[in-house]
Every structure is written in C-alpha cells, then in structure tokens.
Amino acid sequence: MQLQSQIYPPLENGDRLSYREFERRYSAMPTGQKAELIEGVVYMASPLRFTTHAKPHADLIGLLWTYKMATPGTEIGIEPTVRLDSDNEFQPDGVLLIPGGSSQISPEGYIQGVPELVVEIAASSAAIDLGDKQRVYRRNGVQEYLVWQIFEQRLDWFYLEEGVYQSLAPNDEGILCSRVFPGLWLNRTQLLENNLAAVLETLQTGLASPEHQAFIS
C-alpha cells in the first residue's frame, strides 16, 4: 500500500504559528513565494517591482560582494532564512556575516543566530522593516542594520550600542564607515544619485585603508 505524503495547510497572511510549523508549511509551498515569521505572525511578500526593489537590491548586494571578495573570513547571503528566535524567522534582503561569529549554519542549512550586518530594501518608511523587524533585530543583537527607503530616497545605517540602535554618522568626507567591518565604506549621496562608479571608488578606498588591511591580516 502506498502511503500518502503529508499535506500541510498553505501559509496565509496573519497566521500565528510556531517557527517549526511555519517551516513545515513553508517547505510545502511552491518555490518562489517569500514569507516571514515576525513576532509569531506570518507575513507574505508582495510581488517585487524592478525599480523600487530589484535594482537597488542588486546594487547593495554588489557592494557587499565586492567587500567579501576582498575580505577573507566574511560571507554574504541573499534572502537567506535566518532563525532569530522561536517567534521570528526572517528572510532579509542581504546579510554580511563572519562564519562562526554570532551565527552558525544549522543542519538544515539555515542561519541560526544573528548575522553581523543585515540589509533591507523598504518601499517607504511605513514598511515593517522600520517597525517590528527593526525591534526584533535590536532585541536579538544584530550589530548593524542598513535600511534603504526607496520612495523617500533615504538610507539609514544603524549600529547597536548598549542595546539601542543609533544612526551611523558620516565621517568628514561624508562617507558611512561600518563599525563592525573595517573598510566597508559607503558613499550614501552617490548611491542615492545612482552614481555607482563613485560608490565603487569609495569602497575601493576603504578596502585599501590601514583599518581594512589590519582586519584581514
């Protein structure tokens, strides 16, 4: 007699689930559908537009990839499943981490714990990235959190200090410099103006800095 495979109910917006039940239902869904568990509640992602998500997403990932290639001992991920705690399982737009640092890879292949840097693309300031998700990242100890609000043309880089997120201030040249990853420099003004050549030039300057050379050695 052939046994029938177990059928799980589909995920729905607003479902209240444990992270284990969330994972069971998520794994049974068709591929390509993104869902997150935020404070025990399921959020289903809307279709993503090119200009307000896919393009800026690619630009930031390119920045992180360039840094990773010049910085042994770091890794990046695009929309990985991150198990933060029993009520929160996110798929951030990007992460930069130090393997074996504050996170590890579970036997199932998920990130368990907190990446050092999380990147999110938010359509606007009304998005959950600056509400519930930010509070969860702070509570779990994500050291740096970058949010790009596309409609407002605003990019905020937060760092954790004594359990509170503070806004990273630019240096005298107007450059944002990571406090966790030496040499990860971002020219925010040029990024918002879509001058990617200038953004790359700033990052390359950071990668040649004494701080970055000391970090990789």
Q: What is the pLDDT of residues 176-195, one digit of tens each?
A: 999 999 999 999 999 999 99
Distance CA(46)–CA(86), nearest Å, equals 24
Distance CA(178)–CA(195), nearest Å, equals 20
Structure tokens at 53: 């998500």
Neighbouring CB atoms inside 10 A of 121's CB total 24
Q: Any residues with CB less than 8 A from the CB of 124 and at least 6 apart, and which?
A: 149, 150, 151, 152
Report the pLDDT value the prediction gives residue 1, as an integer from 0 to 100: 37
Q: Which of 82, 87, 73 is nearest to 118 (CA)?
A: 82
Report the pLDDT value the prediction gives residue 125, as an integer from 0 to 100: 58
Report the pLDDT value the prediction gives residue 2, as an integer from 0 to 100: 42
Report the pLDDT value the prediction gives residue 4, as an integer from 0 to 100: 41
Q: Which sequence spans correspond to the domains of the chain?
A: 1-47, 48-216
Q: Any residues with CB less than 8 A from the CB of 159 and at least 6 apart, and which?
A: 143, 144, 145, 165, 166, 168, 179, 180
Report the pLDDT value the prediction gives residue 84, as an integer from 0 to 100: 92
Compute CA distances 204 → 15, 153, 166, 193, 198, whole Å: 45, 24, 26, 19, 10
Residue ranges, the chain, pLDDT below 70: 1-6, 13-14, 31-32, 124-127
Match domain 48-216 to its CATH number in 3.30.390.30, 3.90.1570.10, 1.20.1260.10, 3.40.50.740.
3.90.1570.10
Q: DSSP letter at 130?
A: G
Report the pLDDT value the prediction gives residue 52, as an integer from 0 to 100: 83
pTM, two decimal places: 0.85
Report the pLDDT value the prediction gives residue 139, as an integer from 0 to 100: 94
Q: Which element (helix H / strand E) includes 68?
A: helix 55-69
Q: What is the pLDDT of residues 68-108, one digit of tens each?
A: 999 999 999 999 999 998 888 899 999 999 998 999 999 98
Distance CA(61)–CA(67), nearest Å, equals 10
